[in-house]
Amino acid sequence: MMTPTQTTQPVMAQPNVFGTSSGALNTGVGTATGVAGYQPMMVTPGSMNTQAYMNPYQQQVTDVTMQQMADQQAQAMNTLDAQASAAGAFGGSRHGVAMGESMGQYADAQANALANLNYSGYTNAQNMAMQGALANQQAGLAGAGLNLNAANTLGNLSNLGFGQGMAINNQQMTQGAQIQAMNQALIDASKAQYAGFTGQPAQSLAMLLGGAQVPTGSTTTGSQTYNPGLFDFLSLGMSF
């Protein structure tokens, strides 16, 4: 038989549910606190690392383009020389003006091409940097949302575990009280029998006294001779 101080141990190595619940609660609170302090990344031009998104082959693209334009310019100059020679004007002033005009046009064209290449390269880098920054911002917000969900789940699990533990605790208390009530009933029954034993003398005496009541009609009548004395005469005289 177990003594009141003995308790049955769990069959499996189950952790203390209240410890698990309080641990989940603490973790949930910590996580929620972290989420509460979360500051999403601010997307500003200054926060973007545009240079990281620049085309590493930008220079090669530019060089090739410039080279192609230079080749075209050389071919155009050759054509212009041939035309001037055919007209007998090679080396003349008109030939010189035509050459200068052509070279100027190609220089403008090269400058425009270079500017466009640099502009498109930088614009592309800016767009890429913006997309990257927004993606990082969204990832951060999504992570914060996951953490908040996890905190909520931990809170719910904490409540669940605590409730289950308390339900078992209350069930044990109820069942234990039922057993105690039975023990108390046995004690009360034994006390009643003991009271019967110790009260038996009084009970027996009450029965005896009940049986010793004087019955009615038990009187007897008798007569006896009486010789009056002096005092009888005196009392007789006083009665008149």
Partner 1 sequence: MSGGSTQTTQQVQLPQYMEDLSKYATEQAMKGSQIGFVPYIGPDVAAFTPMQQAAFDGTNMAASAYGMPTAATTGLPQPTTYANGMQGYSSYPLYQQSLASLQKANPTQYGLLAGYSAGMPTK
Would you tell me which residues interact with partner 1 (CB under 8 A)? 1-8, 16, 18-19, 21-22, 162, 165-166, 168-170, 172-173, 175-177, 179-181, 183-184, 186-187, 190-191, 194-195, 198, 201-202, 204-205, 208-209, 211-212, 214-215, 218-228
Our CB check for partner 1 shows the closer of 51 and 193 to be: 193
Q: Is 22 exposed, middle or buried (0-12, 13-18, 19+ CB in 10 A)?
A: middle
Our CB check for partner 1 shows the closer of 39 and 219 to be: 219
Helix (H) / strand (E) element for 199: namely: none
CB of 15 to partner 1, least distance (A): 10
User: Where do we find the tokens 């009486």?
Assistant: 226
> In angstroms, what CA-CA distances link 203 with 196, 200, 212?
9, 5, 14
CB of 161 to partner 1, least distance (A): 10
CB of 204 to partner 1, least distance (A): 7
CB of 234 to partner 1, least distance (A): 15
Task: Dihedral sign for Cα 54, 57, 60, 66, please.
Answer: negative
CB of 55 to partner 1, least distance (A): 60
Q: What is the token pair recorded at 68? A: 């192609």
Helix (H) / strand (E) element for 122: namely: helix 93-198
Q: Which residues contact 153 (CB under 8 A, 6 or more apart)?
A: 28
Our CB check for partner 1 shows the closer of 86 and 202 to be: 202
Our CB check for partner 1 shows the closer of 127 and 203 to be: 203
Our CB check for partner 1 shows the closer of 226 and 240 to be: 226
